């Protein structure tokens, strides 16, 4: 049986008088690549904050890599979790190499008086090569394109050799070319690190990497469906999650969604074609 990487059980979360999450259950095993999809305000980011060991649930349990939140030293646990956030709050003009090295220190900026060991630099350059940025290793953050920044952040998250990698809407604000570069980088991870588990949050089906194996739909703080991606991303279930008629498509290993014209219903044959294509 595959090793359990993330086990969220009967989790609720309340902020003040507002109930954000209601009885969430999610189980991620080693080597699985999940996408969490839902409309804005559905609770995606809150759920991701549990997976990153940043926020405690109001009730329920969160086990990450065999350790239960509340019973483990969080700093040590977080070092085993990679987190790619396109809103990385870097203010200085660090080079790509320096940004990647901050993945070892777990900081945004380079710590004062900290010098990487020679083997750390070698490791950083290897990760930079993996994401196709060798020619930009000495380029400053401020001159990087958004796509290059996204790939640099993937390398930063990988240098600490995480066992769980989280993507928080990694293609937000990117043009089509930059989006595809980042998605190609994510897809390559499944080939070079088959045991690495990933969880990606988005509200656009077009931003789902080809190698994604599982999906979860969240709506109004509740998981409405979770499991193998072909079983979850049907027109009916996506329409229900977004409370709007949506036709889900799948072609050339990529997903798409389009609104159904008023008065029409989502086609029901898409799920069968999807399952056959993935099978």
Q: Which of 165, 243, 242 is nearest to 211 (CA)?
A: 165
The DSSP secondary-structure symbol of 70 reads T
Going along the chain from its start, the domains and CATH numbers come out as: 1-80+162-233 (3.40.50.300), 90-160 (no CATH)
Q: What is the pLDDT along the chain (279 residues), one digit of tens a residue?
A: 469 999 999 999 999 989 999 999 999 999 999 999 999 889 999 999 999 999 999 999 999 999 999 888 888 888 889 989 888 889 999 999 999 999 988 888 988 888 999 999 999 999 999 888 999 999 999 999 888 998 899 999 999 889 999 999 988 888 898 889 889 989 998 888 888 999 999 989 999 999 999 999 999 999 999 999 999 999 999 999 999 999 999 999 999 999 987 665 555 544 444 443 444
- CB-neighbour burial class of residue 86 (10 A; exposed 0-12, middle 13-18, buried 19+): middle
Query: Helix (H, G, I), strand (E, B), or coil: what is residue 5?
Result: strand
Whole-number pLDDT of residue 273: 45
Question: Can you give the pTM of this predicted structure?
Answer: 0.86
- If residue 271 lies in a helix (H) or strand (E), which one and from where to where? helix 270-278
Strands of 4-15's sheet, edge to edge? 18-29, 4-15, 59-64, 67-68
Length of the chain: 279
Whole-number pLDDT of residue 76: 84
Q: Three-state DSSP class for 49? A: helix
Q: What is the pLDDT of residue 75?
A: 83
What sign does the dihedral 168-111-116-75 (CA atoms) show?
negative
pLDDT at residue number 276: 39
Task: Report the pLDDT value the prediction gives residue 248, as an integer from 0 to 100.
Answer: 97
Angle between helices 146-158 and 118-130 (to 10 degrees): 130
DSSP H or E segment with residue 265: none
């Amino acid at each position: 049986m595959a090793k359990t990487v993330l086990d969220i059980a009967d989790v609720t979360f309340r902020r003040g008088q507002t109930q954000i999450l209601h009885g969430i259950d999610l189980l991620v095993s080693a080597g699985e690549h999940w996408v969490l999809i839902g409309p804005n305000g559905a609770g995606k980011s809150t759920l991701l904050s549990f997976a990153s060991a940043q926020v405690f649930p109001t009730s329920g349990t969160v086990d990450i890599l065999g350790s239960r939140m509340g019973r483990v030293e969080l700093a040590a646990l977080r070092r085993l979790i990679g987190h790619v956030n396109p809103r990385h709050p870097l203010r200085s003009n660090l080079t790509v190499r320096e940004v990647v090295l901050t993945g070892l220190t777990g900081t945004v900026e380079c710590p004062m008086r900290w010098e990487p060991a020679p083997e750390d630099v070698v490791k950083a350059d290897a990760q930079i090569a993996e994401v196709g940025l060798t020619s930009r290793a000495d380029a400053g953050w401020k001159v990087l394109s958004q796509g290059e920044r996204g790939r640099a952040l993937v390398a930063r998250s990988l240098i600490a050799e995480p066992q769980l990698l989280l993507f928080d809407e990694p293609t937000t604000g990117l043009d089509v070319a930059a989006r595809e570069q980042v998605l190609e980088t994510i897809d390559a991870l499944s080939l070079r690190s088959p045991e690495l588990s990933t969880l990606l949050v988005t509200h656009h089906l077009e931003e789902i990497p080809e190698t994604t194996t599982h999906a979860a739909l969240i709506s109004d703080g509740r998981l409405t469906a979770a499991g193998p991606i072909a079983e979850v991303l049907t027109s009916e279930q996506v329409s229900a999650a977004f409370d709007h008629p949506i036709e889900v498509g799948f072609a050339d290993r990529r997903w798409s969604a389009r609104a159904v014209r008023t008065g029409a219903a989502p086609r029901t044959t898409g799920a069968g074609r999807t399952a056959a294509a993935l099978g």
